[in-house]
């Protein structure tokens, strides 16, 4: 009796395969000519080709090295993973040998955001090597965090502390961040030839994602910048190069800005960590939103690649909501009189989404 057509056994899923199958790893054609070259140099070149910033490159390498250092049972530790070749790294992180799983398990105590950052770095490496990321290794679910901002009173205290700080850098740094929304790396990288005083603007070159964008100045920004340039001439004779220089006449660094923020935080009576460069950037964005700016304009001014990143500012916190409510109610109560309709004082920086009003 005919038993019917024979059925071939289905190929096993990756999750069904045993770890000791001894599978040979073949590099994708685009990497075969790099097989015996040092992986680190080749991978860094790939990151640069993709336009990854220096900070992103450092973050990826900080995450990837512990993965490569992870040992499996019976293995001895590698002396220096940086000297491995591309082919060796591809075999080392082969998803079916268990190394990636063992490394991911070691990250269990991290915060969701840190965990996801490291997973993103490892996933990028595996994709580059032609591996498929294991489906069972998923991102941690992180609660949505609203942007931290300073209240009106806190912001006034910071501006006052910056005005009287011993380092004149404090005034110009705080003002520029509040009025332009510059990232800390962007304000440090800003050069004199990128500033157009007549146009009341500056061009950020090779910002995050290796993109250029225009930032706009207020009259207050220009005044503080003019005062700062007088101080800058006392620190360096260079008439080109960085806008912001430290006491030694060298380009200001992000760490130098962070130290300024720490000093201003103490001087203005804020808790530790309450004042950061990114908090000032958030204040810039929420200030624009409160005054009616549309999300697309805010996205362009902030240099966000996706408007989804900008949309988080719609989720304003309770304190900001209270301030908006009380300002609106105060304005409403003054409307029936028709007399002395004095505009409410707004100490939040006033930045136009289309430019700076001409006097």
Question: Whole-angstrom Cα distance, residue 240 to residue 236?
Answer: 10
Q: Is 313 a catalytic residue?
A: yes
Evaluate whether 335 touches 277 at the Cβ level (below 8 Å): no
Question: Whole-angstrom Cα distance, residue 146 to residue 26?
Answer: 45
Catalytic residue among 118, 131, 171, 304: 304
| Closest by Cα among 98, 118, 100, 122 to 109 | 118
Catalytic residue among 99, 118, 131, 208: 208
Catalytic residue among 118, 131, 232, 281: 281
Q: Is 124 a catalytic residue?
A: no
Give the model confidence (pLDDT) of 232-269 as tens digits. Answer: 999 999 989 999 999 999 999 999 999 999 999 999 99
Give the model confidence (pLDDT) of 135-175 as tens digits. Answer: 998 888 866 666 788 888 999 999 999 999 999 999 999 99
- Count other Cβ atoms within 10 Å, centred on residue 200: 18
Tokens at 62, concatenated: 């900080």
Q: Is 332 a catalytic residue?
A: no
Evaluate whether 280 touches 177 at the Cβ level (below 8 Å): yes
Domain assignments of the chain as residue spans, ordered by start: 27-128, 152-334
The model's pTM: 0.62
Catalytic residue among 278, 291, 311, 322: 278
Catalytic residue among 52, 183, 232, 282: 183
Q: Is 131 a catalytic residue?
A: no
* pLDDT for res 316: 59
* pLDDT for res 207: 64
To the nearest whole number, what is the mean pLDDT of the chain? 82
Q: What is the largest CA-CA distance in the chain?
A: 105
Question: Whole-angstrom Cα distance, residue 183 to residue 254?
Answer: 10
Evaluate whether 153 touches 270 at the Cβ level (below 8 Å): no
Q: What is the CATH number of domain 152-334?
A: 1.10.443.10
21 pLDDT tier (thresholds 50, 70, 90): very low
Tell me the torsion sign for CA atoms 301, 303, 306, 312. negative
* pLDDT for res 338: 47
Question: Whole-angstrom Cα distance, residue 92 to residue 204?
Answer: 40
Give the model confidence (pLDDT) of 84-121 as tens digits. Answer: 999 999 999 999 899 999 999 999 888 888 999 999 99
Question: Whole-angstrom Cα distance, residue 152 to residue 221?
Answer: 19
Q: Is 208 a catalytic residue?
A: yes
Task: Give the N- to C-terminal CA distance of the chain in Å, as an integer.
Answer: 100
Q: Is 132 a catalytic residue?
A: no
Phi, psi dihedral angles at 201 (to 5 degrees): -155, 175
Question: Whole-angstrom Cα distance, residue 274 to residue 313?
Answer: 18
């Amino acid at each position: 009796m005919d038993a019917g057509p024979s059925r071939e056994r289905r190929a096993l899923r990756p999750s069904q395969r045993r770890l000791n199958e001894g599978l040979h790893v073949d590099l994708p054609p685009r990497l075969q000519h790099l097989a015996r070259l040092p992986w680190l140099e080749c991978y860094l070149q790939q990151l640069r080709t993709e336009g990854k910033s220096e900070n992103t490159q450092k973050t990826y390498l900080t995450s990837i090295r512990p993965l490569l250092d992870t040992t499996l049972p019976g293995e001895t530790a590698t002396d220096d993973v940086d000297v491995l070749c591309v082919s060796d790294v591809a075999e080392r992180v082969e998803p079916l040998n268990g190394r990636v799983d063992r490394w991911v398990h070691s990250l269990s105590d991290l915060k969701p955001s840190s965990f996801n950052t490291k997973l993103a770095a490892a996933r990028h490496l595996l994709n580059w090597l032609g591996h498929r990321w294991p489906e069972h290794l998923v991102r941690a679910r992180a609660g949505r965090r609203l942007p931290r901002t300073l209240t009106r009173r806190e912001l006034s205290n910071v501006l006052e502390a910056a005005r009287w700080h011993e380092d004149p850098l404090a005034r110009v740094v705080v003002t520029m961040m509040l009025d332009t929304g510059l990232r800390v790396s962007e304000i440090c990288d800003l050069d004199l030839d990128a500033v157009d005083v007549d146009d009341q603007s500056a061009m950020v070159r090779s910002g995050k994602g290796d993109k250029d964008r225009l930032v706009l100045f207020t009259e207050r920004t220009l005044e503080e910048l003019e005062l700062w340039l007088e101080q800058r001439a006392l620190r360096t004779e260079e008439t080109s190069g960085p806008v912001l220089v430290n006491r030694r006449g060298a380009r200001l660094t992000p760490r130098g800005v962070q130290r300024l923020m720490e000093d201003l935080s103490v001087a203005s009576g804020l808790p530790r960590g309450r004042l950061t460069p990114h908090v000032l950037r958030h204040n810039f964005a929420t200030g624009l939103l409160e005054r009616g700016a549309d999300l697309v304009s805010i996205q362009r001014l902030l240099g966000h690649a996706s408007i989804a990143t900008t949309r988080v500012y719609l989720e304003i916190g309770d304190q900001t909501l209270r301030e908006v409510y009380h300002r609106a109610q105060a304005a409403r109560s003054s409307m029936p009189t028709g007399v002395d309709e004095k505009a409410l004082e707004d100490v939040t920086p006033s930045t136009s989404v289309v430019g700076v009003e001409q006097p």
